[in-house]
Amino acid sequence: MTILVLSTLPHYFAAIIVGSQWPIYQYIIIASTTLSVTWHMTDNVATSFLGIADHAVAAVWFAADCYYLYDHLGRVLILNILSAALNVIASRANMSYECSHSIWHIINAAKSMYLASLLAHYKS
């Protein structure tokens, strides 16, 4: 198991945090994280079917963040912009892709857990 896979796993905590009171959102987190883990365990090529599916479901997760957390849309947008910027910065650092992208996974998982905790405090 690679560090890319291990660093993706903390995203599952967001599904635990949000709980079953938001089942569609929870399903999106589980589907997106599972696709990402599967992709990083196999070819890890962005243009492969799994790579495209991983990014597509991640986009659905972002859309779900915007929809479910509309009252916190500013936070959602700022945190996702920062997360994307940190991914670009890390990818340009003098380290391997595996290392830089794993650092981004951890940062993005923390962002995801924070947003899930905001949603968990809403009443369904």
Can you tell me the mean pLDDT for 4-10?
Answer: 91
Q: Where are the domains of the chain?
A: 3-120
CB 115 within 8 A of CB 65: yes
What are 95-110's pLDDT values in tens digits?
Answer: 888 888 899 999 999 9
Judge whether residue 124 has pLDDT over 60.
Answer: no
Higher pLDDT, 41 or 60: 60
pTM of the model: 0.90
